[in-house]
């Protein structure tokens, strides 16, 4: 693949110093990305809802060096404290993006970051964190290449975020984004995410996502390891084909607003993701007993009330409870009365569909 469209050369004077602050949200996949090939390219296309409340705020302070350095020079503060254990990830990110962001070694950076969601809540901070950093860097690049169009800026931001963490590329825009080339999605690409190109039905407007924190412990298997286990996985090809078909189906559902069909595909995708984990070699399980109890309760509630509430899962034990805005009051009652008991320390986060990264 030729990604030369994302290469820039330094043509104008580099700004001496400054500060850029932005926020970028997390996102929740409806059709899951699970399996990748080098470098950070997905085996199948995925679709997600961008979130609103769960986000990272990142400030990038930059100061131009007198002499060009041979190494990256950055300090990292997380919630006001130095965070040396995050540094290798940022170092690896800088190495990956260096050929596209030629000014990196010209600066000393101080990166200050904080999340709205509790630390170690089991909510992946890599999507919001990497997209926020990519967004700040591209705002700096914009000062150097002021002629860049808004569309090119968004595409390159997503392109860089992807190199930090695959799912991060879907957080730059909202409310629905697609990452991965797919014949039914105009403009889609393996290299960056795009906004869902068709009009999303009003049934999905302000769609709610209440995240039940079932287990806040460290995951036994990271996403990176999980993705790798799809190499040589006995069901890999069937899974990638299924995801490709599911994108076509979900596309029509998002346009038509058919909520029963939405429930069917979203829950099936969540369980298929975990089925892939259970059938990897070595196999593993990230759901906990309370994850299953919550799923049972949601199914019972739906049967009794006819509600359109459903669940999805990411690579962990937490449950994302998805429901239309019109049902907000009823479903929140159900959650507090019947589901909170399964949450660790009764914790849950109320979120909804959102619109992506922005400057503060
Ligand atoms: C289950 O984007 O966290 O949440 O590319 O290795 O950083 P890396 O993985 P990551 O994987 C996300 C997996 C998922 C599904 C999804 O978000 O599509």
The rounded Å distance from CA 35 to ligand 1 centre is 9
Q: What is the DSSP pairing of strand 193-195 with strand 358-359?
A: unpaired
**Residue 184 pLDDT exceeds 80:** yes
For the chain, give the percent of residues with pLDDT over 90: 90
**Residue 124 pLDDT exceeds 80:** no
Please give the pLDDT value at position 13: 85
The rounded Å distance from CA 168 to ligand 1 centre is 8
**Residue in 42, 166, 221 to alter for ligand 1 test, most ligand atoms within 8 A of Cβ:** 166
Mean pLDDT for the stretch of residues 41-67? 97
Please give the pLDDT value at position 290: 98
**Residue in 30, 88, 239, 315 to alter for ligand 1 test, most ligand atoms within 8 A of Cβ:** 315
CA dihedral 303, 309, 314, 316 (to 10 degrees): -60
Whether residue 93 has its Cβ less than 6 Å from ligand 1: no
Please give the pLDDT value at position 68: 87
Residues 6+ apart with CB under 8 A from 124: 26, 167, 223, 314, 315, 316
Please give the pLDDT value at position 219: 76
**Residue in 162, 170, 179, 227 to alter for ligand 1 test, most ligand atoms within 8 A of Cβ:** 227
CA dihedral 201, 203, 208, 212 (to 10 degrees): -100
3-class secondary structure, 263 = helix
Radius of gyration of the chain (CA): 20
Name which of 58-72, 139-153, 210-224, 240-254 the model is least confident about. Answer: 210-224
Region of 323 on the Ramachandran plot (φ > 0 left; ψ -120 to 50 alpha; else beta): beta
Please give the pLDDT value at position 64: 96
pLDDT per position as a tens digit, 301-330: 999 999 999 999 999 999 999 999 999 999
The residue whose CA is least distant from atom 3 of ligand 1 is: 223
| Between 100 and 122, the higher pLDDT residue | 100
| Structure-block tokens of residue 37 | 């090939």
| pLDDT confidence tier of residue 118, bands split at 50, 70 and 90 | confident
Q: Report how far Cα 36 is from the mean position of its chain's Cα atoms.
A: 15
Please give the pLDDT value at position 226: 96
3-class secondary structure, 225 = helix
pTM of the model: 0.97
Name which of 81-95, 145-159, 216-230, 332-346 the model is least confident about. Answer: 216-230
- 86/89 Cα distance (integer angstroms): 6
Name which of 31-35, 83-87, 178-182, 280-284 the model is least confident about. Answer: 83-87
Give the chain's mean pLDDT. 96
Please give the pLDDT value at position 216: 79
The rounded Å distance from CA 34 to ligand 1 centre is 7
The rounded Å distance from CA 62 to ligand 1 centre is 29
Q: What is the DSSP pairing of strand 107-115 with strand 46-64?
A: antiparallel
Mean pLDDT for the stretch of residues 12-20? 93
User: What phi and psi, each to the nearest 5 degrees, are found at residue 212?
Assistant: -90, 120
| pLDDT confidence tier of residue 220, bands split at 50, 70 and 90 | confident
| Between 40 and 218, the higher pLDDT residue | 40
| pLDDT confidence tier of residue 120, bands split at 50, 70 and 90 | low
| pLDDT confidence tier of residue 99, bands split at 50, 70 and 90 | very high
Please give the pLDDT value at position 273: 98
**Residue 125 pLDDT exceeds 90:** no
The rounded Å distance from CA 165 to ligand 1 centre is 7
**Residue 353 pLDDT exceeds 80:** yes
Place of tokens 């994108």: 247
DSSP E strand boundaries for 221-347: 310-313, 319-323
CB atoms within 10 A of CB 164: 25
């Amino acid at each position: 693949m030729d990604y030369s469209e994302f290469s820039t050369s330094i043509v104008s004077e580099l700004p001496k110093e400054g500060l850029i602050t932005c926020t970028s949200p997390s996102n929740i996949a409806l059709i899951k990305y699970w399996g990748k090939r080098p470098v950070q390219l997905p085996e199948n296309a995925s679709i997600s809802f961008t979130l609103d409340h769960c986000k990272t705020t990142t400030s990038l302070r930059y100061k131009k060096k007198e002499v060009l350095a041979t190494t990256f020079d950055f300090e990292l503060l997380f919630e006001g404290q130095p965070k040396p254990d995050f540094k290798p990830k940022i170092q690896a990110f800088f190495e990956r993006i260096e050929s596209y962001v030629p000014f990196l070694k010209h600066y000393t950076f101080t990166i200050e970051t904080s999340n709205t969601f509790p630390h170690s809540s089991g909510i992946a901070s890599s999507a919001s964190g990497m997209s926020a950093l990519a967004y700040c860097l591209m705002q700096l690049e914009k000062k150097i290449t002021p002629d860049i169009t808004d569309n090119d800026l968004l595409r390159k931001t997503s392109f860089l975020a992807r190199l930090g963490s695959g799912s991060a590329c879907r957080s730059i825009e909202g409310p629905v984004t697609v990452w991965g080339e797919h014949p039914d999605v105009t403009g889609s690409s393996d290299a960056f995410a795009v906004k869902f190109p068709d009009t999303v039905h009003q049934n999905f407007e302000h769609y709610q996502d209440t995240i039940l924190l079932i287990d806040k412990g460290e995951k036994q298997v990271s996403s990176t390891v999980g993705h790798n286990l799809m190499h040589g996985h006995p069901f890999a090809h069937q899974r990638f084909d299924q995801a490709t078909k599911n994108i076509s189906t979900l596309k029509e559902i998002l346009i038509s607003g058919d909520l029963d069909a939405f429930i069917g595909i979203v829950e099936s995708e969540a369980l298929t993701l975990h089925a892939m984990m259970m059938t990897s070699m070595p196999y593993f399980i990230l759901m906990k007993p309370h994850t299953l109890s919550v799923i049972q309760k949601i199914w019972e509630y739906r049967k009794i009330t006819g509600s359109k509430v459903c669940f999805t899962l990411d690579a962990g034990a937490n449950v994302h409870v998805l429901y239309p805005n019109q049902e907000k009051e009823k479903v929140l009652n159900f959650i507090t009365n019947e589901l909170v008991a399964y949450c660790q320390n009764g914790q849950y986060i109320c979120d909804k569909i959102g619109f992506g990264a922005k400057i503060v």
